[in-house]
């Protein structure tokens, strides 16, 4: 094998955004933070490290040949492994898995042992999933102390605080998935736990819905809640009441998601080891306690030539990717011995896809069409079949996964199987930026979006396939580009043909039912589960959400996550049914951690630096500072910032604040980028309006600003992500 220290002579075609992401997050750096390897060096480092696993099974194997195959796979952007593998392969940490599930039993010892393990995992950059369903409900008896239990939600808060503490020093943020069964007595409190947007910000939460519950819901019947300590029913409540609470909270905030837990366990390949109770943070990887997920994604845009799918290339890529991921299982340095034992015992891998929306465009197929559903099924059925063939061939050569005996594969039809699972549709936010393609199986995020670069400048990027199509169809012009940048959409432009508008629909242009149908099409041929966010318009009703959940269940999905446009823009004030003569508005508390952007703007008094910080609810504070000015001007600017911050946290709309400030004049106006700046208050208003406009252009409202690049944070693939730089709140 070639030395990993030798510079690679191979090159790959990367977008400027992809290079920026690689330099910021993935490439090795010196003590001053400067990259000391190129993207080609990174791919070679990863390929060499992963290929060495071949020698464990055959000392005479040509690991150099395998390394070249893996390197070509990544260099041509046909396949990329998950981020921890790209970051850590061949480096000191060596932790290559993205996510883990840990057990929580009904005892202080178990809870805090798991908390310790969680901190260890988060320190290595992994995410964690838990089921809190075994913890006795709030106010239940505690025999050892003759006291009462504080319940699962109180312990979730402990995990949340610990995650917040650990992630302060990490390069990847730890994230959690908290799950509670629908028959737990505390389920209704759990469902509403994140309606207060200041709580559990390091958790995604999902309710595990059972078949028994769904049947009770269908029949409008009562449903029994069971104390997990005694395993006896403690209450009978209308199933509809619980379901309506789930629907209401999801409509308000996007949380909780739902998991159809019995369907997940029907597909559990190793039931002899136990039932699945939890998933990873984005919900696509059901795992047993102490299992980890080894994931990677095929770039579907590279599987299309001349408007047709290249199944020969796809087959070759699938087999190489399964080989790669099985090697990752082998060389990974696991954070806990229990995780190493389970991960090596089941050898689960999850091969998924990215670039599905772009693939459809290349094929001339609208996302919301029967042909798109058929294409999804065809492509994923092929990937699943070939991945199992590849795993079978590896099993014959290297041996079956150790827990094969007693598994669903144990039989004459599948005498060899190296991996208990082979397919997962995982989020690909950052990977898709590196690959220069659309994320996972999501629709397009936008036809045009902005990217913040050095010195406060903003660049606008138009989807390359749209430019290609516009030039081919003869309607491309510089004026068209300016129109798209100004409007953020192509659907109001008369110069764009209707057929092109249909082809380039974005996530908020797609009806929720089509989101579910595409998810179900991929789920049909996926071993694990599918990461997907169903987008709703702001005017969607609770009845729409209710119907969507039922459709997802009927369609065969294993879970569903939704987000209603703008639902986190404001916190609904609940005052019950009594008549209230007046409501006294109080500002929400300032969170411990916010994310912000600083904009420099020229005023007649000098350069003003305006910082706008956001939390999960939206903008929450504004600071402004003049370069070298002190005295009265500085104190007035500080006072303005304090009052604006107070108004923001009290629910006053940004537009209303900006309207009061815009146009205020001082004796010394100034010009910046062709715009007049009348005063310091006018400057602050201009920055407020610009950030708000950026949020609206991106198809989301006031979700906050990316802490890394100042881009817009949006809901996608079950998480809060930035499309400009790949930052994800879930990793």
Distances (CA, A) of 54 to 215, 345, 365, 434, 492: 49, 18, 41, 27, 55
- Helix ranges, 459-526 (H): 464-473, 478-487, 498-503, 512-523
Q: Is residue 105 annotated as a catalytic residue, yes or no?
A: no
Cα–Cα dist 470/478, whole Å: 11
| 3-state SS, residue 307 | coil
Cα–Cα dist 699/684, whole Å: 23
Nearest 10 degrees: Cα torsion 161, 259, 252, 102: 0
627 near 646, Cβ under 8 Å? no
180 near 190, Cβ under 8 Å? yes
Per-residue DSSP letter, 509: G
- Partner residues linked to 561 by β-bridges: 533
129 near 179, Cβ under 8 Å? yes
Angle between helices 542-555 and 239-253 (to 10 degrees): 110
| Dihedral (CA of 367, 99, 188, 565) sign | negative
Closest to 684 measured CA to CA, from 624, 617, 616: 624
**Contacts of residue 529, Cβ cutoff 8 Å, sequence gap at least 6:** 264, 279, 283, 284, 285, 286, 424, 425, 523, 558, 559
Closest to 549 measured CA to CA, from 209, 225, 219, 43: 209
- Partner residues linked to 606 by β-bridges: 603
Cα–Cα dist 360/372, whole Å: 7
> 256: alpha, beta or left, given left = phi > 0 and alpha = psi -120 to 50?
beta
Cα–Cα dist 567/673, whole Å: 34
Angle at CA of residue 675, ends 671 and 680, nearest 5°: 65
For residues 168-197, one letter each, b for 16 or more C-beta atoms within 10 angstroms of the residue's C-beta and e for the rest, the string is eeeebbbbbbbbbbbbbbbbbbbbbbbbeb
Locate tokens 């304090």: which residue? 642
Q: Quick one: how far is CA 102 from the chain centroid?
A: 20
Catalytic residue among 202, 280, 299, 419: 280
- As to burial, measured by CB atoms within 10 angstroms (0-12 exposed, 13-18 middle, 19+ buried), residue 395 is buried
Catalytic residue among 37, 277, 284, 621: 284
Q: Is residue 284 annotated as a catalytic residue, yes or no?
A: yes
Locate tokens 């209401």: which residue? 248
Catalytic residue among 99, 282, 620, 722: 282
Cα–Cα dist 632/627, whole Å: 14
Q: Is residue 280 annotated as a catalytic residue, yes or no?
A: yes
**Contacts of residue 94, Cβ cutoff 8 Å, sequence gap at least 6:** 88, 331, 332, 333
Cα–Cα dist 477/645, whole Å: 42
| Catalytic machinery residues | 280, 282, 284
């Amino acid at each position: 094998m070639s030395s990993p220290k030798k510079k690679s002579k191979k090159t790959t075609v990367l977008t400027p955004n992809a290079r920026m992401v690689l330099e910021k997050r993935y490439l090795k750096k010196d003590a001053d933070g400067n990259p000391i390897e190129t993207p080609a060096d990174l791919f070679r480092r990863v390929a060499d490290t992963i290929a060495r696993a071949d020698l464990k099974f055959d000392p005479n194997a040509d690991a150099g040949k395998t390394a070249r195959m893996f390197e070509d796979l990544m260099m041509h952007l046909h396949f990329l492994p998950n981020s921890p593998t790209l970051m850590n392969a061949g480096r000191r940490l060596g932790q290559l898995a993205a996510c883990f599930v840990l057990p929580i039993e009904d005892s202080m010892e178990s809870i805090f042992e798991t908390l310790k393990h969680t901190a260890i995992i988060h320190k290595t950059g992994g995410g964690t999933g838990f089921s809190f369903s075994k913890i006795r409900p709030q106010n239940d008896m505690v025999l050892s102390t003759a006291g009462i239990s504080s319940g699962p939600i109180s312990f979730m808060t402990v995990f949340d605080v610990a995650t917040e503490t650990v992630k302060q020093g990490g390069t990847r943020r730890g994230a959690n998935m908290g799950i509670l069964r629908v028959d737990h007595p505390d389920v209704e409190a759990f469902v509403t736990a994140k309606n207060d947007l200041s709580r559990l910000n390091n958790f995604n939460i999902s309710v595990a819905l059972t078949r028994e519950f769904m049947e009770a819901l269908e029949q409008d019947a009562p449903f029994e809640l069971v104390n997990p300590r005694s395993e006896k029913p403690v209450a009978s409540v209308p199933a509809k009441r619980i379901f309506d609470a789930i629907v209401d909270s999801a409509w308000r905030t996007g949380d909780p998601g739902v998991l159809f837990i019995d369907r997940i366990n029907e597909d559990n390949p190793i039931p002899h080891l136990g039932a699945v109770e939890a998933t990873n943070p984005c919900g696509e990887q059901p795992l047993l306690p102490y299992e980890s997920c080894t994931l990677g994604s095929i770039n579907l845009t590279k599987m299309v030539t001349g408007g047709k799918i290249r199944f020969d290339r796809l087959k070759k890529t699938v087999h190489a990717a399964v080989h790669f991921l099985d090697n990752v299982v082998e060389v990974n340095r696991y954070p806990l011995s229990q995780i190493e034992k389970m991960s090596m015992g089941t050898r689960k891998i999850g091969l998924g896809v990215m670039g599905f929306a772009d693939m459809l465009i290349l094929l001339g197929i609208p996302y919301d069409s029967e042909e798109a559903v058929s294409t999804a099924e065809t492509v994923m059925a092929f990937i699943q079949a070939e991945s199992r063939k590849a795993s079978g061939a590896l099993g014959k050569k290297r041996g079956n996964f150790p827990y094969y005996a007693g598994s669903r594969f144990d039989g004459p039809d599948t005498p060899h199987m190296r991996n208990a699972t082979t397919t997962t549709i995982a989020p690909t936010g950052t990977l898709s930026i590196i690959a220069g393609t659309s994320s996972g199986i999501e629709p397009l995020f936008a036809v045009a979006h902005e990217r913040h670069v050095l010195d406060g400048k903003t660049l606008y990027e138009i989807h390359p396939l749209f430019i290609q199509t516009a030039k081919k169809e003869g309607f491309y012009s510089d004026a068209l580009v300016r129109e798209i940048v100004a409007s953020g959409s192509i659907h109001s432009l008369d110069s764009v043909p209707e057929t092109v508008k249909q082809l380039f629909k974005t996530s908020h242009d797609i009806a929720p039912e089509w989101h579910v149908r595409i998810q179900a099409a991929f789920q049909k041929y996926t071993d694990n589960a599918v990461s997907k966010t169903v987008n709703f318009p702001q005017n969607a009703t609770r009845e729409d959400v209710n119907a969507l959940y039922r459709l997802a269940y009927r369609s065969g999905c294993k879970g569903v996550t939704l987000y209603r446009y703008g639902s986190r823009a404001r916190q609904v004030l609940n005052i019950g049914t009594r008549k209230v003569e007046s409501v006294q508005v109080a500002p929400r508390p300032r969170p411990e951690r916010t994310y912000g952007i600083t904009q420099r703007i020229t005023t007649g008094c000098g350069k003003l630096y305006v910082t706008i910080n956001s939390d999960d609810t939206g903008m929450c504070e504004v600071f402004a500072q003049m370069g070298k000015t002190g005295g009265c001007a500085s104190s007035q600017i500080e006072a303005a910032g304090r009052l604006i911050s107070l108004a923001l946290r009290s629910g006053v709309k940004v537009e209303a604040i900006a309207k009061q400030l815009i146009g205020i004049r001082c004796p010394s106006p100034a010009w910046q980028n062709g715009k007049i700046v009348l005063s310091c208050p006018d400057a602050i208003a201009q920055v407020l309006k610009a950030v708000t406009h950026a949020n609206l252009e991106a198809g989301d409202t006031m979700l906050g600003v990316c802490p890394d690049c100042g881009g817009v944070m949006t809901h996608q693939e079950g998480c809060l992500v930035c499309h400009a730089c790949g930052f994800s709140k879930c990793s």
